[in-house]
Amino acid sequence: MWHVGIDLHRQTVVIAAVDDEGNSRGPWRIECQDREAIIETMRSLQPFRAVIEATGTYRWLFDLLRPLGTILLAHPLRLRAMVQRRSKTDKLDSQLLANLLRINQIPLAYIPPDNYQQLRDVTRHRARLSRQAAAAKTQLQCLLAQHNLVAPYKSVSGPRGCQWLAETKNGHRRERQEAPFVDRSSQPQLTPAGCEGLGHR
């Protein structure tokens, strides 16, 4: 059996393999967009088990390869705690993953089911939007203070507040500054009700 280490990046994936006797193949560097080449490379190594270091973008590769063999996920922080090296390249990383997998020393990370993963993605995206909206509202309040303006409404980012901002005239410079904050702070919010059923599609 081949033990495959996969070092995933935004644009490329580096694949290295080692068998039970220590014989190695690769590494190969493949563009992430070339899915057919990735599949053909992994098929040439069947039967195999492979490990991918957990990143924010690993899921597409996991879904692509799991019909072909066993795919594991390495915990990045625990992996770095185990192995400390001065020399670090993509090829070395993939070979290291393959060798650690061969001796069963990969610190594993949890791989959630598809419906849980979709729920995670929606929840994280909602939290990100909430942080961005809060930051936009804070910047808008600072901008109003710079021009000594006081909104007649409690929420300047609400419908009436946005209308007041649109009608307020205090020079072109202020209008150009304010416009993006009005658009960002009044964008539709992703509510839990709107997320219902997303994890079951």
Alpha carbon distances (Å) from 134 to 55, 121, 189, 195, 198: 27, 20, 12, 21, 25
- Of how many residues is the chain composed? 201
> At the fourth CATH level, which superfamily is domain 2-102?
YqgF/RNase H-like domain (3.30.420.140)
The tokens describing 108, both together, are 């594993």
pLDDT at 85: 64
pLDDT tens-place string over residues 64-106:
998 998 899 888 888 877 777 655 777 888 888 888 888 888 8
For the chain, where do the domains classified as CATH 3.30.420.140 start and end?
A: 2-102
pLDDT at 105: 87
pLDDT tens-place string over residues 13-62:
999 999 888 888 878 999 989 999 999 999 988 899 999 888 888 888 88
Q: What are phi and psi of 173, to 5 degrees?
A: -60, -45
pLDDT at 58: 86
* CA-CA-CA-CA torsion sign (24, 25, 31, 35): negative
pLDDT at 87: 58
Nearest alpha carbon to residue 42 among 60, 61, 57, 58: 61
Q: What is the C-alpha to C-alpha distance for residues 198 and 157, in angstroms, rounded to an integer?
A: 29
From 55-69, 120-134, 172-186, the region with the lowest mean pLDDT: 172-186
pLDDT at 130 > cutoff 80: yes
pLDDT at 197 > cutoff 70: no
pLDDT at 183 > cutoff 60: no
Residue 136's SS3 state is: helix
